[in-house]
A and B are shown apart, each in its own frame.
Chain A
Amino acid sequence: MEFALQYELQRSRPHYPGFMYDIYQQATEQVKLADRLGYHSVWTVEHHFLSEWSYSSAPEVWYGALSQVTSRIRLGHGICLLPIPFNHPVRVAERIAVLDIMSNGRVEFGSGRSITEQELGGFQVNPEDSRAMWEEAVAAIPKMWMQETFSHDGKFFKMPEREVLPKPIQKPHPPESAHSASEFRSRAFSTT
């Protein structure tokens, strides 16, 4: 059995000036400790607008930083939101690839579709479309990594033939896991 950490980057009130900075600095210190102690992985949500509940709105950036202050621990997106207004699938493929390069192949790619009204509403995603959007993107992203060129003519996005660059260094690509309210498979260390 592997041990891992899971973060929302949370801070309940009362708040004070500089508390958001402290959340990030403290969580970074905690992950550095876990890395030294041999934890398998760290997982971080992507949430938007949820004051107190989660300040992790750009996990791709925090993970870039973490990749340089840790050497063994795996960096898991738990999860990355795939409906397009949150993240274009090309941009997700690119970010995961750069993070994979800069972490020397330590990325785990978890994905989902968002389950809160604030987030879906804030990005104008129709909740009824969110699963189909996730399905379309999650099928496309590994192809962007494995194929030299990629084109797509789907319901939620279309693109002519392009080289999506760079490619991840884990082959055939970083491990994937899925998480939405009803579809959760394979990983014992996800929460919410």
Chain B
Amino acid sequence: MKAGLIYEIESVKPHAADHEYRVFWETMAQIELADRLGFDSVWTVEHHFLNEFSYCSAPEVFLACVTQRTKQIRVGHGVVVLPFSHPVRVAERIAVLDIMSNGRVEFGTGRATTMDELLGFGVRPEDTRPRWAEAIEAIPRMWREDPFSMHGKYWTVDPPVSVIPKPIQKPHPPIWVAATNPQTFGLAAERGLGVLCFTLGVELKDVAERIQIYRDGIRHARPVGQTINNQVSMNIMGLIGDDPRETEDIAREAVLWYVRRGFELVSSVAQAAHTDESYKYLTTAAKFDPAQITRDYYHFLKDGDLIAVGGADQALRVARRYHELGADQVLFFLQYGGIPHDRIMRSINIIGEKVLPEIRSWKTMGGIIAAEPAARTDAAHG
């Protein structure tokens, strides 16, 4: 099994004058350490306007910086929000990032789940999935078809153009989609995409069902690209330290802060999207009163192996549970809720030295295989 890191790039209040500068450079130091310790990958979100929750509004720039300060670690978009950019621009950015990283890019995609972001860019909730579907079909074609043209519902490129440069990974960088609800696991499988589980707070028996939907579906994939990326990635939120009790004291409030803020943000879509079925799964969050997210909720997460807080044994135990569920990769999520930089560095050190060597020896069922892209007649299908 592979292991990496995932970042929102958070900075909670109170804010010092240089807090944004500091959080970006602290994140860079953490990633450089992970690269030296042999972590497989680092992933960053794309979020806009979400003060405290994420400063990672231009991951294409930050990840480009990462490529020059690291040697082996793969750089992942977790994820590019496809409804917010012209698909040509996304294809171009991924290609340049692939060139500058010597072929280390992982291309994760998604559609946004907060009203703050959707309204900010003037995108209607009911349009996000069809926009994503149109772009995810078009982008791999831009890399293999020259000249390229498209006639979609949201984007038209005609007369035909050359989308340049091209990525250097052949046939193209691995493609993924962020998934929380069962439906998206199915959509990922249909298109031959890897699945990045953003399932914090979902009980593992339910995650297992969703992974099963994915593994069943991908056997009949009609890939959008020239590969079938049959891989499941799961996030492990946590904090690992030398003294388990002290580590827990630091992590507890940070975890609760993150969950509270996260629920507030995503519940806005569920409340607003009355007409859109595809966001209904968020209504659980919408009904959740942030005030109820207390110590009990922390123990629900901890006892259910939904987070890993404590010593190296905790990280190993939770990783093993996710491996049993069918994960091919776990991404440790360590930077949230104001956890100090030195604690995160220590976590990365401990995971790198005591957890990675063990995890690496575990066989997984997924992988990337070459495939013929499926012909599609309707660009905006799905």
Chain A residues within CB distance 8 Å of chain B = 18, 20-21, 23-25, 28, 48-51, 55, 57-58, 60-65, 67-69, 85-88, 90-91, 94-95, 97-99, 101-102, 118, 121-124, 157-160, 162-167, 169
Residue of A18, A21, A95, A124 touching B60 (CB-CB under 8 A)? A95
Residues from chain A with a CB closer than 8 A to the CB of B20 are 101, 165-167
Question: Which residue of A is nearest B102, CB measured?
Answer: A21
Which residues B63-85 have CB closer than 8 A to chain A? 63-65, 67-69, 84-85
Taking the nearest CB of chain A, how far is it from the CB of B116, in angstroms? 7
Residue of B21, B67, B116, B166 touching A20 (CB-CB under 8 A)? B166
Number of interface residues of B (CB under 8 A): 48
Residues from chain A with a CB closer than 8 A to the CB of B166 are 20
Residue contact B161 to A64, C-beta cutoff 8 Å: no
Residue contact B161 to A163, C-beta cutoff 8 Å: no
Q: How far is the CA of A120 from the CA of B101 in the complex (A)?
A: 30
Question: Which residue of B is nearest A84, CB measured?
Answer: B86
Residue of A69, A87, A162 touching B120 (CB-CB under 8 A)? A162
Residues from chain B with a CB closer than 8 A to the CB of A91 are 57-58, 84-85
In the complex, whether B100 has a CB less than 8 A from a CB of chain A is yes
Residue contact B64 to A64, C-beta cutoff 8 Å: yes
Residue contact A65 to B165, C-beta cutoff 8 Å: no
Residues from chain B with a CB closer than 8 A to the CB of A68 are 65, 67-69
Residue contact A48 to B58, C-beta cutoff 8 Å: no
Residue contact A166 to B55, C-beta cutoff 8 Å: yes
Q: 12 pairs across A/B with beta carbons < 8 Å?
A: A55-B164, A57-B164, A58-B89, A58-B92, A58-B96, A69-B68, A98-B61, A99-B58, A102-B61, A102-B65, A122-B157, A162-B116
The majority secondary structure among interface residues of chain B is helix
Question: Which residue of A is nearest B86, CB measured?
Answer: A85
Q: Number of A-B pairs whose CB atoms are under 8 Å? A: 157
Residue contact B64 to A160, C-beta cutoff 8 Å: no
Q: How far is the CA of A46 from the CA of B68 in the complex (A)?
A: 22
Residues from chain B with a CB closer than 8 A to the CB of A160 are 119-120
Residue contact A166 to B57, C-beta cutoff 8 Å: yes
Residue of B58, B96, B121, B163 touching A24 (CB-CB under 8 A)? B96
**Given A48-B88, A65-B64, A102-B24: 11 more A-B contacts, CB < 8 Å:** A20-B165, A48-B92, A48-B161, A49-B163, A57-B165, A61-B93, A64-B61, A64-B65, A86-B89, A164-B57, A166-B55
Q: How far is the CA of A95 from the CA of B46 in the complex (A)?
A: 12
Residues from chain A with a CB closer than 8 A to the CB of B183 are none
Max chain B Cβ within 10 angstroms of own Cβ: one of A58, A62, A167 = A58
Residue contact A62 to B96, C-beta cutoff 8 Å: yes
Q: How far is the CA of A20 from the CA of B165 in the complex (A)?
A: 6
Question: Which residue of A is nearest B156, CB measured?
Answer: A124
In the complex, whether B122 has a CB less than 8 A from a CB of chain A is yes
In the complex, whether B159 has a CB less than 8 A from a CB of chain A is yes
Residue of A51, A63, A88 touching B61 (CB-CB under 8 A)? A63
Residue of B55, B58, B99, B122 touching A95 (CB-CB under 8 A)? B58
Residue contact A58 to B93, C-beta cutoff 8 Å: yes
Q: How far is the CA of A24 from the CA of B67 in the complex (A)?
A: 14
In the complex, whether B48 has a CB less than 8 A from a CB of chain A is yes
Question: Which residue of A is nearest B63, CB measured?
Answer: A64
A-B pairs, top 5 by smallest CB distance, nearest first, are A64-B64, A68-B68, A94-B57, A20-B165, A57-B92
Residues from chain A with a CB closer than 8 A to the CB of B21 are 101, 169
Max chain B Cβ within 10 angstroms of own Cβ: one of A62, A99, A166 = A166
Max chain B Cβ within 10 angstroms of own Cβ: one of A60, A101, A157 = A101
Q: How far is the CA of A159 from the CA of B93 in the complex (A)?
A: 25
Residue contact A88 to B84, C-beta cutoff 8 Å: yes
Q: How far is the CA of A160 from the CA of B118 in the complex (A)?
A: 11
Residue contact B86 to A62, C-beta cutoff 8 Å: no
Which residues B155-180 have CB closer than 8 A to chain A? 156-157, 159, 161-166, 168
Q: How far is the CA of A160 from the CA of B92 in the complex (A)?
A: 29
Q: How far is the CA of A180 from the CA of B57 in the complex (A)?
A: 28
Residues from chain B with a CB closer than 8 A to the CB of A25 are 99
Residue contact B49 to A122, C-beta cutoff 8 Å: no
Max chain B Cβ within 10 angstroms of own Cβ: one of A51, A86, A94, A165 = A165
Q: How far is the CA of A186 from the CA of B97 in the complex (A)?
A: 32
Q: How far is the CA of A169 from the CA of B20 in the complex (A)?
A: 9
Taking the nearest CB of chain B, how far is it from the CB of A44, in angstroms? 11
Residue contact A123 to B88, C-beta cutoff 8 Å: yes
Residue contact A63 to B86, C-beta cutoff 8 Å: no
